[in-house]
């Protein structure tokens, strides 16, 4: 179960809150931590890392003011701290060819006339020549794969077309999904209806073959936490497929259930589409070695499903 596993990444370092002296604020706990270059993390930078969402307590992303308790675990990536601070986006993995960001909800991936800041902007400023190897909706959170140069992007593009990049998402849906596991194999077509200014994906026999594998992780009254593994990657595939089986994403203003969204907002403070890129498995562009990266869990997910925290 997710609550027992927690996130993992080749870069994450776990520290235990082992003494009463360490049971203060999270940013104070990180202050003075040793970095790979031999320097230590300042209180200012530790606060910034927490603000960015680059630090987890018990597997769930936490802010700087979080009060730690004895026996809790704190996870972060010292080797990626400086790059995260430069990009103003948490970094889950980095090497000479590829980068995996842990995008916060609300941050757009692409530039646009109504987008003051985007992942593309950050990459252009800090890592010119890099580019996006996949997309994720603005209101979704989680892992985003980046190629650091043209050759890396070409290699990742080939891997994506060949189905060699595995993408798994966590989603909170309306209603209690009955089947523990199911495969949704429904063709999808992107249409401009009913809003001409934004595309919407619908199930249509004339559409492209689209396959999503869904596993229920937890259930509660009126909602389910599911893991979705994509076999294909169509626009809004998860949103359209889950709607098609009668369990739309909570918080989704376009594909969701308005009444369920209102209840989730009032009861749990759900203010966004509850979709999170949880796991990436991809071949390293230069060597072909398999890289597996898992994201930290999100606080709004943990509010509805506390079992996501490794400890109570």
Q: Is 137 a catalytic residue?
A: yes
Asked whether 139 and 217 are in contact (CB, 8 A), the reply is no
- Annotated catalytic residue: which of 63, 121, 137, 192? 137
**Which active-site residues does the annotation give?**
137
């Amino acid at each position: 179960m997710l609550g027992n596993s927690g996130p993992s990444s080749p870069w994450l370092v776990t520290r235990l809150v082992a003494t009463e002296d360490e049971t203060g604020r999270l940013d104070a706990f990180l202050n003075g931590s040793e970095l790979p270059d031999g320097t230590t993390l300042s209180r200012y930078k530790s606060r910034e890392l927490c603000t960015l969402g680059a630090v987890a307590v018990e597997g769930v992303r936490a802010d700087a003011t979080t009060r730690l308790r004895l026996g809790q675990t704190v996870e972060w990536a010292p080797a990626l701290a400086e790059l995260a601070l430069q990009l103003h986006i948490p970094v889950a993995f980095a090497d000479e060819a590829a980068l995996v960001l842990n995008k916060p909800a609300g941050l757009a991936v692409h530039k646009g006339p109504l987008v003051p800041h985007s992942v593309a902007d950050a990459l252009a400023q800090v890592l010119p020549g890099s580019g996006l190897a996949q997309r994720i909706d603005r209101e979704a959170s989680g892992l985003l794969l980046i190629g650091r140069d043209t050759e890396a992007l070409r290699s990742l593009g080939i891997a994506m077309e060949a189905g060699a990049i595995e993408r798994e998402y966590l989603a909170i849906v309306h209603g209690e999904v009955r089947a523990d596991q199911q495969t949704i194999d429904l063709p999808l077509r992107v249409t401009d209806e009913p809003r001409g200014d934004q595309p919407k994906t619908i199930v249509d026999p004339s559409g492209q073959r689209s396959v999503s594998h869904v596993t229920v992780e937890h259930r509660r009254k009126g909602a389910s936490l599911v893991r979705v593994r994509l076999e294909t990657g169509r626009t809004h595939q998860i949103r359209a497929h889950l709607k098609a089986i009668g369990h739309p994403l909570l918080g989704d203003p376009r594909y969701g259930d308005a009444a369920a969204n209102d209840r989730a907002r009032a009861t749990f403070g759900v203010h966004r589409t509850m979709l999170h890129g949880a796991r990436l498995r991809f071949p390293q562009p230069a060597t072909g070695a398999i890289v597996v990266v898992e994201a930290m869990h999100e606080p709004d997910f943990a509010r509805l499903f506390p079992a996501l925290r490794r400890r109570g």
